[in-house]
Amino acid sequence: MKRTTSSTAEVASATDGAPGRRGLSRHTTRWIQTVILAVVALAWVYPLLWIVSASVKDAMGIFSSGLSLWPETWHWDNYSRAWDEAGFARYMLNSIIVTVGTVAIVVVRCAAAGYVIARYRFVGRRLLVGVLAATMFIPTGLFIVPVVELSDLLGLLNSHLGLILALAGGGHVAAVLLYAGFYAQVPKELEEAALMDGAGFLRTFFRIMLPLSGPITATVVVLTFLATWNNFFLPLVFTFSVPQNRTLAVGMLAFEGTNSTDWSGLAAAASLSLLPILLLFIVLQRHFVEGIAGAVKN
């Protein structure tokens, strides 16, 4: 009887200890994963931190400090030189005008196209989707000549409006497909109710469908903002003869001379150009993640 009781106690003790060992194993695994992800995140973020660090160093300090992020002397005048002397105040305003205009046109156009593709059945619909998907594999540089010639004929070559239309006039296939995938999941009862209330296509789209696609719109806004803000080729062509219309990406050429480059000023300018992108992503982060998760789920 004692032996049976002893064996039962040993089994109970071993059983009680098993969750503790499993918990310790999960805890250790979690710590290992955290350390690995922290190292990967640091390697990913380090170039950004290095640019910010270089923006407050002098030209010699950038190369003499190696991989060190902490400057020996803080040179905040690099920012004032980039903002005032290099004209980045004007370039920042140009970038904001061009980017906001491009994003607005792309959102409305791609949302309308995605809505029509998802909700209407018409002849050649599948062919249209196939052509749109095929354009994703065509380099954008192939279209630069006809775009420039058409803009020149319309008198828009050296203007903000011409640059906005050129940037917004691309296929933007990813945005169209994101909207189409979202609108395909919307119940038809919403459209039927709007039709019974006397709403036409435009009213249904702008008052019901477009507000519903908030997460997708946030995703398209972020992606289009990044592509437009960092675009170099088209702004260079459209502002070649009008330097005062340059955007930030093109304006950084001011720091490159024939025989030397102002690396500290260039780093300060790059840091300034990153601020709007970071602020936009912080504001729209939750909606951006929801839009991407919804697109993957669909």
**pLDDT for position 106:** 94
In a domain, 75, yes or no: no
Q: Give yes or no for a contact between 220 and 110, defined as CB atoms under 8 angstroms apart.
A: yes
Same domain, residue pair 226 and 173: yes
In a domain, 61, yes or no: no
In a domain, 50, yes or no: no
Cα distance between residue 147 and residue 149, in whole Å: 6
Give me the domain span that covers residue 105. Answer: 86-297
Total domains, the chain: 2
Same domain, residue pair 40 and 172: no
Given its phi and psi angles, is residue 177 left (phi above 0), alpha (psi -120 to 50 degrees) or beta? alpha
**pLDDT for position 9:** 47
Three-class HEC string of 62-101: HHHCCCCCCCCCCCCHHHHHHHHHCCHHHHHHHHHHHHHH
In a domain, 93, yes or no: yes
Place of tokens 């169209």: 176
What number of residues does the chain have?
A: 298
pLDDT tens string, the chain, 298 residues long: the values are: 444 444 544 444 444 444 444 555 777 888 888 889 988 988 888 888 888 888 888 777 777 776 777 777 787 878 887 787 777 888 889 999 999 999 999 999 999 999 988 888 888 888 888 888 887 777 777 778 888 888 889 888 888 999 999 998 877 888 898 898 889 888 888 888 888 888 888 888 888 888 888 888 888 998 899 889 988 888 988 888 888 888 888 888 777 765 667 777 788 888 888 888 888 878 776 765 665 555 545 5
Same domain, residue pair 23 and 146: no
Please report, for the domain that includes residue 282, its CATH number: 1.10.3720.10
Same domain, residue pair 38 and 91: no
Q: How big, in percent rounded to 5, are the helix, strand and coil portions of the chain?
A: 80, 0, 20
In a domain, 78, yes or no: no
In a domain, 280, yes or no: yes
Cα distance between residue 8 and residue 266, in whole Å: 74
In a domain, 38, yes or no: yes
CA distances from 17 to 3, 10, 29, 113 (A): 21, 11, 18, 61
Same domain, residue pair 140 and 36: no
**pLDDT for position 100:** 94
